[in-house]
Amino acid sequence: MLYTDYGFTLVALGRFEEAVGPLQQGLTRNAAVPHAQNALGYAFANMQMLQEAQDAFAQGLEYDPENPLIWSNLAVVWMAAGAFQQAAQGLEKALALETGP
């Protein structure tokens, strides 16, 4: 958990390239940490590594499919990649999860 926490802190500081290694190392030890998958996706997205970002967000959603933040971040990456239909669906899902039934 120490690696993922360190990587998460680096992402919060905007040090995206530095964050990737610790996040990946922590996730190798325990992949079931959705906030770390989200942080890794966010780092990749800020480095314009859109496929890697999509993969990280998708992995996070495997462990926490009801996480509106991950859905929202994935939708932003889809928008950046030009997948506007998917982006709209992702944002709708995030909004539905955030506001509840």
pLDDT (tens, 9 = 90+) of the chain, 101 residues, equals 789 999 999 999 999 999 999 999 999 999 999 999 999 999 999 999 999 999 999 999 999 999 999 999 999 999 999 999 999 999 999 999 988 66
pTM of the model: 0.93
Which residues lie closer than 8 Å to 11 by C-beta, 6 or more apart? 19, 23, 39, 42, 43
Domain count, the chain: 1
Domain with 94, as residue range(s), is 2-99
71, 94 Cβ separation under 8 angstroms = yes
Q: For the chain, first and last CA: distance in Å?
A: 33
Q: 53-84 as b/e, with b when 16 or more CB fall inside 10 Å? A: bbbbbebbbeebeebbbbbbbbbbbbeeeebe
CATH number at residue 59: 1.25.40.10
Provide the greatest CA pair distance for the chain. 39
